[in-house]
Structure 1
Amino acid sequence: MRIRSHRGHHRAALIAALLSVAVAAGTWQASGDPGPGGGAQVRRGGVVRGGSGPVPGAEVTVYQAGTRFGERPRRLGGAVTDVGGRFRVAYAEPRDPGAVVYVTADAAPADGAAGGSGRGHAALPVRFAAVLTGAPEGPGRPLAVTERTTVAAGFALAQFTRDGGFAGPWPGPRNAASVAHNLADVTTGGISRFLAAPPNGGQTSTLRAFNSLADAVAACTARTRGCSELFAAARPAGGERPRDTLQAVADIARAPGTHPDRVFTLARSRPVYLPALDAAPAAWTLALRYEGNGHEVDGPGNIAFDRGGDAWIVNNYVYGADPHDPVCGGHELLRLRPDGRDAPGAPYAGGGLYGAGYGVAIGRYGDVWAANFGFQGQGCALDPDPLFRSVSQFDARGRTLSPPQGWRQGDYVQPQGALTGRDGTLWVANCGSRSVTRVPDGRPGRAHNIPVGGGALVKPFGVSLDGRGRAWVTGNGSDSVAVFAPDGSLERTVTGGGLRRPLGIASDSLGNQWVSNSGAVPVPCEDGTAQEMADAVGPAGGPPAAGASVTLVRPDGSTPAQPFTTGSLTLPWGIAVDGSDTVWVADFSGQRVTRLCGVRTRACPPGHRTGQPISPASAGYGFDGLVRNTGVQIDPSGNVWLTNNWELVPVQTNPGGHQLVLFVGLATPVRTPLIGPPRPL
């Protein structure tokens, strides 16, 4: 954006006049300047820079995000950029340690037209943004507010963005702020070191998609027509047209499959940031791969989030970089911060932990449970039989509470799914013994085993809990779901409705159960083996398995006559429900996650029916950084986490994948820990 100085002064005057009109009209304003209770004074300089150069005359404002949905952000300070796009702003740091501070810069496109609808700050359609809280470079460094920092903020805080500002309850926005810094560096305005390096960088498509999105914003920065095209492409089905670039980015993040071709065409019209995509994606998602310290993730099976949004992950195997070297069962419990860093002291070991699979749960007091299935690679010299008969327990700081052999009361045999209810009761599915273990109030000494006779519950795998405290357990080998009353008595067994080799199960807020039917996966418990499972599922990326689908089971145990199917469901495994009761399904074969409309159709795009895909019908939300994923869970920031459990071509000495994958800002946030059915943040 090469602008002569006299043009810069003219543009600054134009913007100042527009701002004066907006204020006089009583349009959108923050709630006020900081009061005497503010924290330390901060003076910070920086630059607002578009794809072609500095942005003069931009109105720069520092805000504290609102702490409730719908609350207006609090203005902390402001400035106007000079002809070189430079500014210096003073403000008081909030005393609240959970507060999120961010900066916006409002400007007109470079061609000089303000545009917009005349409502609020949208008279200036170009709104840059950068998140200040949690920046790893610290508060003393200069800022660079750019299209890239805008895309990072808009995606990471998509679920908390309204009218070009951020607001939402703890810990959602705070955690989202840390994820924004994984995308863009607010001191340079460029890509972050995290995004630029393996296991991201050139190894996946995210960096190129991120740059293409920044190019789409740059098209608006450059010319008014670009803004009109961006806002039309970003408008969600049945929703309002965005009025600034930040809101447009957030709208794309929340509904990434709305107009992918139009966004791509706009991005190609302004190719500033490289490398970029050379073809339009099916949906504009941004996904990041996390690998912790780089030598701890091997076959992650499932995830549970604690109250603060940290991810606790169980590992099938001991870490090994070479898939041809035999590995034994994982003996570490991982704990990652929302930005992918290890929590203090993590990973944690001990307490009988060995080869945990799909079972990890957090209790109402923050204690963490892991179900010791006994996974190990071919060639491990250990006998798994004495090691797969327990669960392990840790406190909220990762200290072991279970003895060295794990808790064994309750007759666990190859335990898989686990979940804690609101009354504190832990439920565990025993894949190897056709039974369920119930642990009242999470007290291991009171654990008791509930066998299910005959063939009604073979290979129990997934567990969910409804609002009445009932436990719903999938039978992978019996094509069934067993329903247990809160006291442990068997109420009924559900069959039909398309149930076929079911794995994951998740409750919605209304008590409906959503079951992922793999159609083909024989879980390697009882007399099954991992090699038999690998042979049964076939190569990755193949056609849908016969029976691959999702079954809805109503609270009374009834099901629709047919399950829900779509082309993106090829080998469903994990399943989760978000804060708006839409359904997310992990695919073990297709390198994607699928989003389905739930029972509350008002939360879906207009015209959608229950079970209809919200994500692209044949592609889902795909990502080339996924391998074979099992667990899927939603965090308090609306990020969708998946486990890269097996490699695409699994070598059975060590078939484990080595990352967690996070789709940024894609789902409606959920209050954590997940105790019973999901609750919105």
Structure 2
Amino acid sequence: MRRRHGVLLTAALLAQLAAGPSHAAAPAGWDPAGQCGVVRSGDTPLGGAEVTLYQAGDGRGAAPRVLARTRSAEDGRFTLDYRRPRDPNAVLYVLADLGPAPTRAPQAPAAPERALQDRPPRHGPDGPVTLAAVLSGAGAPPELVVNERTTVAVAYALARFTGPAGVSGTRPGLQNAAAIAHNLADTGTGDIAAPLATPPNGALTSTMAEFNTLANLLASCVTGDACDQLFDLARRPGHERPRDTLRAAVDIAHDPGHNAAALFALADTTPRYRPALPAAPDAWTVALRYDGNGRELDGPGNIAFDADGNAWVSNNYGYDADPAHPVCGGRTVLKFTPTGHDAPGAPYTGGGLYGAGFGITVDARGSAWVANFGFQGRGCPIDPTDLERSLSQFAPDGTPLSPPEGWRGHGIAQPQGMAADRSGTVWAADCGGGGVTRIPDGDATRAREVPTPALSKPFGAAVDPDGRLWVSGNGNDSVQVLGPDGTAERTVTGGGLRRPLALATDSKGYAWVSNSGILPVPCADTTADDLTTAALAGDTGPRPGASVTLIAPDGTPAPAPFTDGGLFLPWGIAVDGDDTVWVANFGGHRVARLCGTDLTACPPGHRTGQPLSPPGTGYSSDALERNTGLQIDPSGNVWLANNWRTVPVQTNPGGHELVVLIGAAAPVRTPALGGPAQP
């Protein structure tokens, strides 16, 4: 890195504008900076690329700002001199366009910074090859490498922030997405980044090979003659044909199941990066595992995001890597940063935590609430009777706000699903108690029990945009709707409801219910052994009743449930910022994605409930195990909890990872307080 000093003559500045590094205009007082780099395809340098440094637009659709522009030398190397933005959270990224040199009109002898600023961002209109790299988010390397791997990282991590004008978006989603790009590709070397290259990823899943295959796919255009094929195959139905390699990769990230086999065949023609996939995937989803410090996740149950996009995670068991060792209930709640690291001080303890299950939420004030179900492995010597009847509450920094025994009473018994609304009310479904607990304004001293006699084994909970609570009854195939004050409004049956688990509401007030078909939740008179028996029976294929039910705001269910798109053994469910529906499976290693009530977000001709994931397989991945919780963050990443192992040994059946589908969904504003809202 080098700094520019002194005052340059106008002639030198004009020469620099024509052929060398350039400054962009910036307010007085901004610090000068410099960045060296190289443009490569594999080990092959790419000279003559126009390299442009941008500051991403601050806000949806805002135009990015050009900070510097130059051209790579014959050996692919370049230097960008620019002014650092005042905003320390500004997202900076580099595009290398290998199109022909632009025709430049003669410039008046004015400051080249102004001349460069006034030129519109080009983003590859002169040629089919545009490579990219994120400069911000992980510290600038001594030499920035721009290649196909860094381009795939940008395309996926920033998929939901890359539009016709360039990269732009709202906080914190845009900033988090830029940081996540560094989990995929190392911008200092151009290699696979350490989080993707090492356990729990690396050789343990196929994601690294898939990522390399995507890089090979771009290389087929960069150094070959397959650009037209790439752009034709990557084009999403109903959208314009991509005009460069970056946009092609973004389109694949948006619709990963489209033309998957044909794209693999094209990638196989340019095996530049290894290891690569030996066969075509059913979809090009990039599934990245997180395991924190590697010694804390044991049966993660569900996920809730705070306003900054940090993930709070409930944990069934105390950690032990050996499934044969009996484990007792988990006494921690996890908090992960958007890049999958432990938040400061995490994991957190106290507040009555013990064996949390599916219940976790973040309220309007940023407090995290956890439902203590009392999970423990067979052989644990602790009697959970007194430990499975409480809720725990934590401040944003992890300080317990509930007493050492947790918040108790008010009908709390083996609590599971939790939800919060915009007014501050917190709800918990009491699976072992036959009702729900309502906590107005998040004040547990004012909590009260709300009986739900129409439900057996209340399990899932979700708040709609009107503040109403929707609760599933796993024991009697029903859903009940309560008003914001707890008044029973209606009971829903039919519509395919069968052993329902989680619920989610969309922006229009519709409720989506995941029907496991066969899974009895282990509360009241049902045990974990019963759940295990049913789950293993369901591994032979999709079970009868495995489906999703759509219920209108007035409580009317759709005539028939939806059964396609990878609905194998549905559990967790969430709706993204486009009202698209995502479903986790407690078996089958796959995720389903369905067209929601906003048909404009679906390919032309699609209907509500029609699968957007491949109909026969869904989005499958060997990074997934038995998934319960599924939630979507402000960057458009889909987070899943690997709750149990594929073959669960009941002494310690817990899984040990979270799995994140990078850039797969439309971002949502967090915390979730009643239907998804776009950031």
Q: TM-score range by the shorter chain?
A: over 0.9
Q: Work out which of the residue numbers 57, 70, 73 in structure 1 matches 2:64.
A: 73
Deviations 1:470-490 (A, max 9, x none): 101000001000111111111
Aligned to 1:123: 126
CA contact (8 A) 1:164 1:244 kept: no
Shift of 1:52: 5.2
Give CA-to-partner distance per residue, 1:637-659, whole Å, 9 cap, x none: 00000000000000000000000
Residues 335-369 of structure 1, C-alpha deviations (whole Å, 9 max, x = no match): 11111111111110000011111111111110110
**Aligned equivalent of 2:667:** 669
Q: 1:614-637 CA deviation, whole Å, 9 max, x = no partner? A: 000111111101110000000000
Counterpart of 1:655 in structure 2 is 653
Aligned to 2:436: 436
Q: Which aligned pairs between 1:25-64 and structure 2 lie closer than 5 A?
A: 33-36=24-27, 39-51=30-42, 53-64=44-55
Corresponding residue SS for 1:445: helix
Q: Cα offset for 1:491?
A: 1.2
Structure 2: which 5+ runs fail to align?
A: 1-16, 102-120
Cα distance in 1 for residues equivalent to 2:123 and 2:520? 57
Q: Is the 8 A contact 1:572 1:585 kept in 2?
A: yes
Match of 2:133, SS? strand
Maintained 8 Å contact 1:38/1:92: no
Quick one: distance in 1 between partners of 2:166 and 2:196?
25
Question: How far does residue 548 in structure 1 lie from its aligned partner after superposition?
Answer: 0.7
Question: Corresponding residue for 1:163?
Answer: 164
Q: Which amino acid aligns with 1:133?
A: S
Structure 1 residues 84 and 311: alpha-carbon distance in aligned structure 2, compared to 1, 3 A threshold? same
Partner of 1:278: 278
- Whether the aligned pair in 1 keeps the contact of 2:565 and 2:594 (CA below 8 Å) is no
Confirm or deny: 8 A CA contact 1:598 1:611 kept in the other structure.
yes
Distance 1:667 1:408 in 2: 37
Deviation at 1:39, TM superposition (A): 3.9
Q: CA deviation at 1:140?
A: 5.0
CA contact (8 A) 2:417 2:459 kept: yes
Alpha-carbon contact 2:123-2:130 (below 8 Å) kept: no
C-alpha distance in structure 1 between counterparts of 2:485 and 2:196, whole Å: 49
1:331/1:354 contact within 8 Å kept = yes
Unaligned ranges ≥5, structure 1: 1-18, 21-29, 111-117
Aligned-pair identity (%)? 57
Return 244-253 or 88-97, whichever deviates more: 88-97
Which is further off, 271-280 or 160-169?
160-169
Q: Give the Å deviation of 1:33.
A: 2.6
Query: 2: CA distance between counterparts of 1:511 and 1:275?
Result: 46
Q: How does 1:376-387 map to 2 (within 5 A)?
A: 376-387=376-387
How far 1:98 moved relative to its partner?
2.4
When residues 477 and 120 of structure 1 are mapped into structure 2, their CA distance, relative to the original with a 3 A threshold, is closer
Contact 1:305 1:672 in 2 (8 A): yes
* Structure 1 equivalent of residue 592 of structure 2: 594
Q: 2:131 is aligned with what amino acid?
A: F
In structure 2, do the counterparts of structure 1 residues 40 and 120 end up closer, same or farther at CA, with 3 Å as the change threshold? closer
The two structures have a TM-score, normalised by structure 2, of 0.92
Aligned AA for 1:330? Answer: G
- The residue number in structure 2 matching 1:328 is 328
How many angstroms does 1:263 deviate by?
1.3
Give, in angstroms, the shift of residue 666 of structure 1: 0.3
2:464–2:505 contact (8 Å) kept in structure 1: yes
Whether 1:524 and 2:527 are equivalent positions in the alignment is: no
Is 1:494 the counterpart of 2:497? The answer is no
Q: Deviations over 1:422-473 (max 9, x none)?
A: 11111110000111100011100100001123xx201100001112211010
Question: Would you identify which runs of 4 or more consecutive aligned residues in structure 1 move more than 6 Å?
Answer: none
Separation of aligned partners in 2, 1:295 and 1:547: 37
Aligned mates of 1:637, 1:670 — CA distance in 2: 8
What secondary structure sits across from 1:617 in the alignment? coil
- 1:608 pairs, out of 598, 606, 609, with 606
Deviations 1:120-159 (A, max 9, x none): 7321221111111122xx3251111111000011110000
Distance change (3 Å), C-alpha of 1:379 and 1:39? farther
Query: In the alignment, which residue of structure 2 is the partner of 1:154?
Result: 155
What secondary structure is seen at the aligned counterpart in 2 of 1:302? Answer: strand
The alpha carbon displacement at 1:261 in A equals 1.9
1:456-605 to 2 correspondence within 5 Å? 456-539=454-537, 541-566=539-564, 568-605=566-603
Is the contact made by 2:123 and 2:166 (CA closer than 8 Å) also made in structure 1?
no
Greater displacement, 262-271 / 531-540: 531-540
Q: How far does the alpha carbon of each residue in 1:290-337 deviate from its partner, in whole angstroms, 9 at most, with x for none?
A: 000000000000000000100000000011100010001111110111
Residues 149 and 184 of structure 1 are in contact (CA less than 8 Å); yes or no, is this contact kept in structure 2? yes
**2:4 corresponds to:** none
Is 2:212 the counterpart of 1:214?
Answer: no
Per the alignment, residue 25 of structure 1 pairs with none
The alignment yields a C-alpha RMSD, in angstroms, of 1.7
Mean CA deviation greater in 628-637 or 86-95 = 86-95
